C-alpha cells in the first residue's frame, strides 16, 4: 500500500471502527460450553489459512479457511465465529508473507473479516428468516453471499482508492471469479452441519480432505488465470514492440521527434478519458497516435522532407499515406480497431478531407480526436517548412477551423484543457528513446546492382514544359516573354564568362539577376566539409545570413543541396540558425533555392528571398534554373583560380601580390561599367624604410611594414582590397564613395606617401590607372621633401604600428583577401 492519502485514511478508519463494533458486539456472546468444538474449528481454520493463492491483478491473497468460518456460523456462537475469523486472518497475514505486513494492514484485514463474519452469522440466525421457515441451505447460501460481498468488497474498495483505479473493475477482475467457490463452501458447511447433527460434531474432521480438494481446484484455477494473464501481457508486449518497430520505421523516413509523439499521445489519451471512450477505442487511439503516419513510407523522401509548399503533383503522392498506413496496420491484426483510425485521420468534419470524404459522425471518434490534437501539436512544433507557433496562437488557429476541419465538441474540450495537458506532456516521463537505424553507414561491398547502373547520373530537375509557367498568357505574349528572358539570360552568361574570381562572378550575378528576378535578399552558399557556408550575401538580413553554417540536408538550402531539387516559395525561417534568437525579427517570408552543380556533384545553392508570401513564380524559377548551369561552370573555374590566387600571398604581411591586384581591379572595373559607378585606386609608399633598416635593423623594418599593412587592411574595410606591390609599396582598391574615409585613416600614418586615382575619370583600364596612381604617389613623395621631420619621429612609428594580430585574425585577414 502506498503512503496513505486523505480519502484512503478516512475509509480505513471507518472500516476499523466497523470491525471494532463487530468484535465488541460478538465477543460478549462467546459460548464457553463448546470449547472442544471451538478449538477444533479454530485449529482447522488456522491450518487451512496457510493454503493461500495469489489473486490476479492485486498483491493480496485468499485462502480456503472461509469454509470453516461458514461452518462456525452454523454451529457456534457469534463470539466464537468472530474469534475464529480473526485468528485465521492474522495467520494468513504472517504465514509465508513476501514482506512483513504493516500494523494498519493487519488491522484492516481483521476488521473486514470480523464485519463479514458477523453479518453472515446474523443473517443465518436472523429470527425473521427462521419465522419464514426457510431451509437451512437457503439461509446458508444467503450468509455465504453476504460474507463474500462484504469481505471482498471492502478490500477491493481500499485497493481502488489507494491505486486510483476503478473499484468496480478491481473487484470484478480480482475477486468476482471466486464467487462460485464461496457457494461451494456454503454447500460443504451446510452438509457437514447436517452430518454433525446425526453423527456428532467430531465428524467435522472429515471436511479437511474436502477443503484441501477445494484448495487444489482453487489453486489450479488461479494458475490458469495467471497463465492466461501472462499470455495476454505477452500479446500486449508483442503489440507494443510492433508499435515501437513501426514507429522506428517511420522515424527512419520522417524525422519526427519523440517529444512530438509523446505530446500527441498525452493529449489524445486525456481527451479519450473526457469523452469516455471504451477500452478498445482508447487502446486503438494510443497505437494510432504513434503510427498514424506509417503510410509515409510509401511517399518519396524528397516530398516528406521538402522545406517548402507541395506542388499539386506532390500532394497527390502525399494523400496516399492514410490508405497505405491502414493497409499496413490491417496486416498486424491488432485486437483493437487501429486501421480505421489511421485511415480517417485526415478526414474533415465538413467532408472536405481525404481519402474518402467522410463527414461528421461518419469519421471514427478516434480519428477525430487524433486529427485535432495532432494539428495543435504540429502547429506548435518546428517543421521542415516553417517555425513553431506559440501554443496559444496554435490553439487560436485550431479554434478557427472548428466546424469545418474539426469536431466542434472536441475543439471545446481541447481549448478547455490544452494548457494543463501540455504541462502533463512536458513534466511526465519521456517515451523510451528508439534505437537509431543505421541509415548513415556506408556499405563497402557490392560493385554494381544486378540491373546495372543508369547511363546518366544527372538528377532529374525538369519542371515541366515551358508553356506551364505561361498558361495564363495568350500564345503571342508567352512567346514574347520567353524571347525577352532568353535574351537577358544570354547577356548575363556572356558577362559572367568574362570574370574569374568568385566575388566578381557573384557580384555580377546579384546585379544582373535583379533585372529579371526580383528579390529582397540573396545568399549563395558553397558546400565545404558537409556544410553550406555563405560565400556571397546581399540585401535584406545580410548580417544574419552571413553568419549561417547550414548542415548538409538541413533547412531549406540544405534540403536543396541534398536532394538536388529546387524549392519555390519555401519558408526562410527554417534555415538552421537563422532565427534561433527569439528577439530577432525578419521581414522575409518566401524563398526560392536552386542547386549549383559541378562534375563532382553539388557545389552549393543559390537562394533568393522576398518579403511577400508565395512571392516567386514558376517562370522566375525557370530563369534561375537556366542561369545555374552557366553560373556553376563559371564559379567552378573561379574557385579553381581563386585557390591558386590564395597561394600568391605575401608571407610577411598576409596581403596578396600584384597579380591578384590586377585581376581584382579588372573585375571591379567590369562591375563599375555595368553599374555606372566609380572605383578608386590608391598606391602608397613608406618613407624612410632604409633609414629604419640601417639604424635599428631589418627586424624593426619588417615590424614596421607589417604594422602598416594591418592599418591598410583596416582602412579599406570589407568593401575594399589591399595588396603589397613589393618592397615598401602597397595598393588599395575601394568603391568611390569610400575613398574619403580610406584617405582619412591613411592620413593618420606618418611617413606614408599616397597617390590616388579614380575610374573612369583618370583611366579606362587597370594598367593606366596603376601607372597614374604610381606617378601621383611619387609626386606626393617629392612634395613631402624627405618624409618625417626626424629619424626619431620615424622610429617611433615602429612601436605604434607593431602588428597585434593573433593567428586567428591573420587567418581571417587571408579569408577576406
> Is the peptide bond prior to 756 cis by the omega test (within 30 degrees of 0)?
no
Backbone torsions φ then ψ of 428, nearest 5 degrees: -75, 170
- Closest to 689 (Cα-Cα) out of 701, 706, 703: 701
> pLDDT: is 635 or 451 the higher one?
635
What is the CA 99 to chain-centroid distance, rounded? 44
Separation in Å, CA 133 to CA 72, 125, 137, 798: 21, 12, 12, 129
Task: Give the Cα separation of 491 and 476 in Å (integer).
Answer: 23
Place of cell 478490500: 155
CA dist 83 and 708 (Å) reads 108
- How confident is residue 205, by pLDDT bands cut at 50, 70 and 90? low
What per-residue confidence (pLDDT) applies to 813?
35
Higher pLDDT residue, 50 or 199?
Answer: 50
The answer on 600 and 675 residing in a single domain is no
Neighbour count for residue 473 (Cβ, 10 Å): 15
Shared-domain flag, residues 608 and 546: yes
- HEC letters along 198-241: HHCHHHHHHHHHHHHHHHHHHHHHHHHHHHHHHHHHHHHHHHHH
CB count within 10 Å of CB 47 equals 16
Do 531 and 621 reside in the same domain of the chain? yes
Q: Distance between CA 580 and CA 811 in Å, rounded?
A: 28
* Residues of the chain above pLDDT 70, percent: 73
In a domain, 411, yes or no: yes
More confident residue, 127 or 433: 127
User: Directed axis angle between helix 739-746 and helix 698-716, to 10°?
Assistant: 150
436 inside domain: no
Contact 755, 776 (CB under 8 A): yes
Q: Which domain CATH number covers 576?
A: 3.30.450.40
Q: Which of 269-278, 584-593, 644-653, 783-792 has the lowest mean pLDDT?
A: 783-792
Give the model confidence (pLDDT) of 519-562 as tens digits. Answer: 888 888 988 888 998 888 888 888 788 888 898 988 889 989 98
Residue with the bigger pLDDT between 286 and 388: it is 286
**Which of 63-72, 391-400, 631-640, 691-700 has the least mean pLDDT?**
631-640
> Do 625 and 654 have their domain in common?
no
Cell of 373: 490534437
Place of cell 540558425: 577
Pair 342, 324: CB distance under 8 Å: no
| Cα–Cα distance for residue pair 519/621, rounded to 1 Å | 12
Average pLDDT across the chain, whole number: 76
Residue 438 within any structural domain of the chain: no
pLDDT at residue 113 in the model: 87
- Determine the distance from the C-alpha atom of residue 751 to the mean position of all C-alpha atoms in its chain, rounded to a whole number: 62
CATH number of the domain within which 706 lies? 3.30.70.270
Q: Is the pLDDT of residue 408 over 90?
A: yes
Residue 350's pLDDT is 93
* Strand extents, DSSP E, 541-652: 550-551, 567-570, 590-598, 601-610
Question: In sequence order, what E strands does 33-164 have?
Answer: 52-54, 61-63
Do 631 and 688 lie in a common domain? no
Give residue 417's pLDDT band: very low, low, confident or very high (50, 70, 90): very high
Question: pLDDT band at 413, cuts 50/70/90?
Answer: very high
| pLDDT value of residue 221 | 66
Query: Which residues fall within 8 angstroms of residue 481, CB to CB, at 6 or more apart?
Result: 470, 473, 619
**What mean pLDDT is predicted for residues 680-705?**
83
More confident residue, 446 or 287: 287
Q: Are strands 550-551 and 531-539 parallel, antiparallel or unpaired?
A: antiparallel
Hey, which bits of 112-157 come out as E strands? none
| Full residue range of the structural domain in which residue 402 is found | 255-427
Q: Given a cut of 80, is residue 65 above it in pLDDT?
A: no
97 confidence band (pLDDT: 50, 70, 90): low
Band (681; pLDDT cuts 50, 70, 90): very high
Residue 774 pLDDT exceeds 80: yes
pTM, entire model: 0.48
Last residue of a domain, one of 645, 677, 701: 645
Task: Please tell me whether residues 611 and 659 are part of one structural domain.
Answer: no
CATH code, 374: 1.10.3210.10
Q: Rounded to an integer, what distance in angstroms lies between the CA atom of residue 754 and that of residue 746?
A: 9
- One domain for residues 59 and 113: yes
pLDDT for 76 beyond 80: yes
Whether 176 is covered by a domain: the verdict is yes
pLDDT value at position 407? 94
Q: Using pLDDT thresholds of 50, 70 and 90, give the confidence band for residue 581.
A: low
157 found inside a domain: yes
pLDDT of residue 360: 92
How much is the pLDDT for 718?
A: 67
The reply to whether 236 falls in a domain is no
Range with the largest mean pLDDT of 57-71, 289-303, 347-361: 347-361
Considering 25-39, 79-93, 393-407, 465-479, the range whose residues carry the highest mean pLDDT is 393-407
Same domain, 60 and 182: yes
> Are 623 and 683 in a shared domain?
no
Task: Tell me how far apart the alpha carbons of residues 291 and 560 are, in angstroms, rounded to a whole number.
Answer: 28
Rounded distance between C-alpha atoms, residue 409 and residue 20, angstroms: 51
Confidence at 401, pLDDT banded by 50, 70, 90: very high
Same domain, 616 and 695: no
Residue 364 is predicted with a pLDDT of: 94
Task: Indicate the length of the chain as a whole number.
Answer: 817
The mean-pLDDT minimum among 134-143, 204-213, 476-485 falls in 476-485
With a cut of 50, say whether residue 806 has pLDDT above it.
no
Question: Of 594, 610, 645, which closes a domain?
Answer: 645
DSSP codes joined into one string, 511-534: HHHTTTS--SEEEEEEEETTEEEE
Helix (H, G, I), strand (E, B) or coil at 618: helix
Condensed to tens digits (0 to 9), the pLDDT of residues 656-675 reads 888 778 878 887 888 788 77
**Do 655 and 783 sit in the same domain of this protein?**
yes
Burial of residue 424 (number of CB atoms within 10 Å: 0-12, 13-18, 19+): middle
Residue 465 lies in a domain: no
Q: Percentage of the chain surpassing pLDDT 90?
A: 13
The total number of structural domains that make up the chain: 4
- Cell 474539426: give the residue: 406
Residue 810, pLDDT > 90, answer no
Out of 588, 613, 645, pick the residue that ends a domain: 645
pLDDT of residue 434: 47
Strands (DSSP E) contained in 45-197 are 52-54, 61-63
Gap between the Cα atoms of 192 and 194, Å rounded: 5
Q: Report yes or no on 72 lying in a domain.
A: yes
More confident position, 585 or 195:
195
pLDDT at 1: 42
Element (DSSP H or E) covering residue 328:
helix 321-332
Among 327, 331, 349, smallest CA distance to 398 is for: 349
Shared domain for 99 and 76, answered yes or no, is yes
Q: Which residues, 6 or more positions from 107, have their beta carbon under 8 angstroms from its beta carbon? A: 16, 19
| C-alpha cell read off for 181 | 467457490
Amino acid at each position: 500500500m502506498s503512503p496513505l492519502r486523505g480519502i484512503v485514511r478516512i475509509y480505513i478508519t471507518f472500516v476499523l471502527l466497523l470491525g471494532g463494533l463487530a468484535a465488541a458486539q460478538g465477543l460478549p456472546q462467546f459460548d464457553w460450553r463448546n470449547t472442544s468444538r471451538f478449538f477444533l474449528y479454530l485449529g482447522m481454520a488456522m491450518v487451512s489459512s496457510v493454503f493461500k493463492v495469489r489473486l490476479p491483478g492485486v498483491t493480496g491473497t485468499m485462502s480456503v479457511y472461509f469454509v470453516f468460518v461458514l461452518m462456525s456460523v452454523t454451529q457456534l456462537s457469534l463470539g466464537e465465529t468472530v474469534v475464529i475469523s480473526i485468528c485465521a486472518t492474522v495467520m494468513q497475514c504472517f504465514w509465508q508473507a513476501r514482506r512483513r505486513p504493516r500494523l494498519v494492514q493487519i488491522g484492516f484485514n481483521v476488521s473486514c473479516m470480523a464485519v463479514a463474519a458477523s453479518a453472515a452469522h446474523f443473517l443465518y440466525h436472523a429470527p425473521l428468516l427462521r419465522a419464514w421457515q426457510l431451509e437451512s441451505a437457503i439461509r446458508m447460501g444467503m450468509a455465504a453471499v453476504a460474507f463474500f460481498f462484504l469481505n471482498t468488497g471492502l478490500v477491493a474498495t481500499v485497493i481502488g482508492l489507494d491505486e486510483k483505479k476503478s473499484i468496480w473493475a478491481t473487484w470484478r477482475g480480482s475477486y468476482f471469479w471466486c464467487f462460485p467457490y464461496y457457494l461451494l463452501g456454503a454447500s460443504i458447511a451446510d452438509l457437514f452441519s447436517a452430518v454433525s447433527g446425526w453423527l456428532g460434531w467430531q465428524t467435522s474432521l472429515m471436511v479437511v480432505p474436502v477443503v484441501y480438494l477445494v484448495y487444489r481446484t482453487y489453486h489450479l484455477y488461479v494458475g490458469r488465470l495467471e497463465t492466461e494473464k501472462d499470455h495476454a501481457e505477452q500479446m500486449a508486449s508483442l503489440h507494443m514492440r510492433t508499435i515501437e518497430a513501426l514507429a522506428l520505421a517511420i522515424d527512419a523516413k520522417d524525422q519526427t521527434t519523440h517529444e512530438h509523439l509523446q505530446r500527441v499521445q498525452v493529449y489524445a489519451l486525456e481527451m479519450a478519458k473526457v469523452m469516455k471512450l471504451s477500452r478498445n477505442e482508447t487502446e486503438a487511439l494510443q497505437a494510432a497516435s504513434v503510427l498514424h503516419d506509417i503510410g509515409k513510407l510509401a511517399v518519396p523522401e524528397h516530398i516528406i522532407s521538402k522545406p517548402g509548399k507541395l506542388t499539386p503533383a506532390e500532394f497527390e503522392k502525399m494523400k496516399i499515406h492514410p490508405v497505405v498506413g491502414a493497409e499496413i496496420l490491417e496486416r498486424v491484426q491488432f485486437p483493437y480497431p487501429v486501421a480505421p483510425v489511421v485511415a480517417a485521420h485526415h478526414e474533415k468534419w465538413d467532408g472536405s478531407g481525404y481519402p474518402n470524404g467522410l463527414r461528421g459522425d461518419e469519421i471514427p471518434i478516434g480519428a477525430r480526436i487524433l486529427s485535432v490534437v495532432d494539428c495543435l501539436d504540429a502547429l506548435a512544433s518546428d517543421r521542415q517548412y516553417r517555425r513553431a507557433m506559440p501554443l496559444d496562437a496554435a490553439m487560436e488557429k485550431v479554434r478557427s477551423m472548428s466546424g469545418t476541419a474539426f469536431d466542434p465538441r472536441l475543439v471545446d474540450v481541447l481549448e478547455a484543457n490544452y494548457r494543463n495537458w501540455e504541462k502533463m506532456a512536458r513534466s511526465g516521463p519521456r517515451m523510451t528513446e528508439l534505437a537509431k537505424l543505421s541509415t548513415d553507414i556506408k556499405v563497402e561491398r557490392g560493385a554494381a546492382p544486378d540491373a546495372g547502373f543508369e547511363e546518366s547520373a544527372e538528377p532529374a530537375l525538369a519542371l515541366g514544359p515551358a508553356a506551364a509557367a505561361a498558361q495564363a498568357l495568350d500564345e503571342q505574349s508567352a512567346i514574347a516573354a520567353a524571347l525577352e528572358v532568353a535574351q537577358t539570360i544570354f547577356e548575363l552568361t556572356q558577362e559572367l564568362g568574362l570574370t574569374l574570381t568568385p566575388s566578381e562572378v557573384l557580384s555580377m550575378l546579384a546585379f544582373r539577376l535583379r533585372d529579371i528576378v526580383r528579390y529582397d535578399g540573396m545568399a549563395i552558399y558553397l558546400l565545404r566539409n558537409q556544410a553550406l557556408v555563405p560565400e556571397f550575401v546581399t540585401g535584406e538580413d545580410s548580417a544574419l545570413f552571413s553568419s549561417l553554417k547550414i548542415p548538409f540536408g538541413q533547412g531549406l538550402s540544405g534540403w536543396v543541396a541534398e536532394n538536388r531539387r529546387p524549392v519555390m516559395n519555401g519558408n526562410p525561417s527554417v534555415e538552421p540558425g537563422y532565427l534561433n534568437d527569439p528577439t530577432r525579427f525578419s521581414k522575409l517570408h518566401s524563398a526560392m533555392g536552386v542547386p549549383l552543380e559541378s562534375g563532382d556533384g553539388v557545389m552549393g545553392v543559390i537562394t533568393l528571398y522576398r518579403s511577400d508570401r508565395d512571392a516567386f513564380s514558376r517562370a522566375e524559377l525557370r530563369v534561375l534554373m537556366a542561369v545555374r548551369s552557366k553560373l556553376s561552370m563559371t564559379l567552378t573555374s573561379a574557385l579553381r583560380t581563386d585557390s591558386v590566387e590564395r597561394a600568391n600571398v605575401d608571407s610577411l604581411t598576409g596581403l596578396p601580390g600584384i597579380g591578384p591586384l590586377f585581376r581584382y581591379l579588372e573585375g571591379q572595373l567590369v562591375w563599375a561599367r555595368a553599374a555606372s559607378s566609380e572605383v578608386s585606386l590608391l598606391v602608397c609608399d613608406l618613407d624612410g624604410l632604409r633609414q629604419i633598416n640601417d639604424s635599428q635593423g631589418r627586424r624593426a623594418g619588417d615590424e614596421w611594414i607589417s604594422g602598416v599593412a594591418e592599418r591598410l587592411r583596416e582602412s579599406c574595410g570589407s568593401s575594399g582590397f589591399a595588396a603589397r606591390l613589393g618592397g615598401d609599396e602597397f595598393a588599395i582598391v575601394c568603391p568611390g564613395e569610400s575613398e574619403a574615409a580610406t584617405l582619412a585613416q591613411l592620413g593618420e600614418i606618418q611617413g606614408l606617401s599616397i597617390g590616388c586615382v579614380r575610374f573612369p575619370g583618370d583611366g579606362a583600364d587597370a594598367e593606366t590607372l596603376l601607372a597614374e596612381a604610381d606617378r601621383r604617389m611619387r609626386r606626393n613623395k617629392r612634395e613631402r621633401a624627405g618624409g618625417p621631420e626626424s629619424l626619431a619621429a620615424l622610429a617611433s612609428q615602429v612601436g605604434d604600428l607593431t602588428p597585434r594580430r593573433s593567428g586567428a585574425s591573420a587567418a581571417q585577414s587571408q579569408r577576406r583577401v
